[in-house]
Amino acid sequence: MPNSAPLSGLKVLDFSQFLAGPYASLRLADLGADVIKVERAGTGDLSRYLYVSDVQIDGESTIFHAINRGKRSISADLRKEEDRARIWALIEEADVVIQNFRPGVIERLGFGHEAVRARKPSIVYGSISGYGTGNDWEALPGQDLLAQARSGIMWLSGGAADGPVALGLPVADILAGAALAQGLLALLVRRGLTGEGGLVETSLIEAVCDLQFELLTTHFNDGGRAPQRPGNFPAHAYLAAPYGVYRTADGYVAIAMNSLDKLAACLSLDAPFSGLDPFRHRDAIKAELATHLETRSTDHWIAIFVAADIWAAPVLDWKGLVESGVLQSLDMLGEIDRGGHGMRSLRSPLRIDGARASADTPAPYLGGPAPEWRRG
């Protein structure tokens, strides 16, 4: 008999839209929470349409569907009294409220933390902004690409001679959502112990700074020196050789931290690196490695590295990842059917009690049918 989902019975009212907030509520839905999205009457969550690419489901974005699977939707004009009353009725029974509007918006709509807490002191409330409040950036649009631009991570990425490069994925959004979910769960534990509600806040900039904690730590402690933009080669602004991504005859291999002697031995290098300091001489060492590695194929090198337990990996594209069979072995690829329209979707990254904890029901139609809370 499988155990019940850990958050079964938890009621989450989610005012959030786009990616960051909905990612937090997806994490809770995957763990069994009942998530009701509050969507603006008429338009709904703009990501239904803004993210539309050449791959759609039922005229809407597959990304919207992936991030909102397992949830339900209520459509509301929060400026209208009858809609506000419906939302308050849901809040009376909710455990968690989530929002990610620009600072001040949810307060003007009347559902800010103070207002909700006044009616429901045990509420656990989570809020994501672009840049927090009390600073010059607070009113600016909080969007992933823009947060990457302001955080240093875009400046850091790219080759030494290139301009900055955006990470090709919404790291600020996803990490802010994941951090918010972690905070909400901590507050739910506290509420279980003490009965107290609470407020957890994060922002895109906090999340994407946290992602850089390693490099920022070095930066803070070396007098603010700006490292050269590292690009792929070397791949890490501060680490010693051989850390980096190297071209092979037919692709690329990534090589992490390894003993230089061990690496030189397994590569049968003519001029091993003895006597060279892996940090001070890293450019010379990497240049030597690069010359050697580009002579043979990725498969050739990976076979040698695996046999010698060198920390290295081929650089795969998504096809290579899928063909590895690892996602399938982990049961992480899902199929969602929405009224006869099927799509494939990534399932949750968590396994609980030995089974994938993933909410695999389809994302909701805008506003309907109007949901009641599920009983736990």
Ligand X SMILES: CC(C)(COP(=O)(O)OP(=O)(O)OC[C@H]1O[C@@H](n2cnc3c(N)ncnc32)[C@H](O)[C@@H]1OP(=O)(O)O)[C@@H](O)C(=O)NCCC(=O)NCCSC(=O)C(=O)O
User: Binding of ligand X at residue 170 (CB under 6 A)?
Assistant: yes
User: Binding of ligand X at residue 100 (CB under 6 A)?
Assistant: yes
5 or 13: CB nearest ligand X: 13
Mark the segment that binds ligand X (CB under 6 A) among 14-22, 221-229, 310-318, 343-351.
Answer: 14-22
Subset of 245-304 contacting ligand X (CB under 6 A): none
Report, in Å, the least distance between residue 323 CB and ligand X: 29
Mark the segment that binds ligand X (CB under 6 A) among 15-23, 185-193, 226-234, 251-259.
Answer: 15-23
User: Judged by CB under 6 A, which of 35, 36, 98, 109 binds ligand X?
Assistant: 109
Count of residues touching ligand X (by CB under 6 A) = 25
User: Binding of ligand X at residue 171 (CB under 6 A)?
Assistant: no
Subset of 308-337 contacting ligand X (CB under 6 A): none
Angle at 326 between CA 324 and CA 330, to 5 degrees: 160
Which residue among the candidates 83, 173, 250, 309 is catalytic per the annotation? Answer: 173
β pairing state of 312-314 and 198-203: unpaired
For residue 136, indicate whether it is catalytic: no
| H or E stretch covering 154 | helix 153-156
**Greatest alpha-carbon span in the chain:** 80
User: Judged by CB under 6 A, which of 9, 86, 88, 105 binds ligand X?
Assistant: 105
Residues 6+ apart with CB under 8 A from 42: 75, 77
Site string for ligand X, 111-150 (x = CB under 6 A): -----------------xxx----------xxxx------
19 or 181: CB nearest ligand X: 19
181 or 312: CB nearest ligand X: 181
Residue number with the shortest CB distance to ligand X? 142
User: Binding of ligand X at residue 99 (CB under 6 A)?
Assistant: no
248 contacts 294 by C-beta, under 8 angstroms: yes
With H, G, I as helix, E, B as strand and everything else as coil, classify residue 300. helix
100 or 157: CB nearest ligand X: 100
> What stretches of the chain adopt beta strand conformation (E)?
11-14, 34-40, 56-57, 60-61, 71-76, 96-99, 124-129, 198-203, 244-247, 252-255, 312-314, 333-338, 341-346, 351-352, 355-356
Question: What is the b/e burial string over 9-26, where b = at least 16 CB atoms within 10 angstroms of the residue's CB?
Answer: ebbbbbbbbbbbbbbbbb
Calculate the CA 149 to chain-centre distance: 17
Region of residue 318 (phi > 0: left; psi between -120 and 50: alpha; otherwise: beta)? alpha
141 or 342: CB nearest ligand X: 141
Subset of 200-229 contacting ligand X (CB under 6 A): 204
Mark the segment that binds ligand X (CB under 6 A) among 104-112, 188-196, 254-262, 358-366.
Answer: 104-112
Subset of 24-63 contacting ligand X (CB under 6 A): 40
Report, in Å, the least distance between residue 298 CB and ligand X: 33
Subset of 57-86 contacting ligand X (CB under 6 A): 76-79
131 or 301: CB nearest ligand X: 131
212 contacts 218 by C-beta, under 8 angstroms: no
User: What number of other Cβ atoms are within 10 A of residue 187's Cβ?
Assistant: 21
User: Binding of ligand X at residue 173 (CB under 6 A)?
Assistant: yes
Question: What is the b/e burial string over 287-323, where b = at least 16 CB atoms within 10 angstroms of the residue's CB?
Answer: ebbbebbeeeebeebbeebeeeebebebeeeeeeeee
Radius of gyration of the chain, Cα coordinates, nearest whole angstrom: 24
Q: Residue 164, preceding bond cis, omega within 30 degrees?
A: no
What are the two backbone dihedrals, phi and then psi, of residue 279, each rounded to the nearest 5 degrees? -95, -55
58 or 107: CB nearest ligand X: 107
Catalytically active residues, by annotation: 173
Which positions touch ligand X (CB under 6 A)?
A: 18-21, 40, 76-79, 100-102, 105, 108-109, 128-130, 141-144, 170, 173, 204
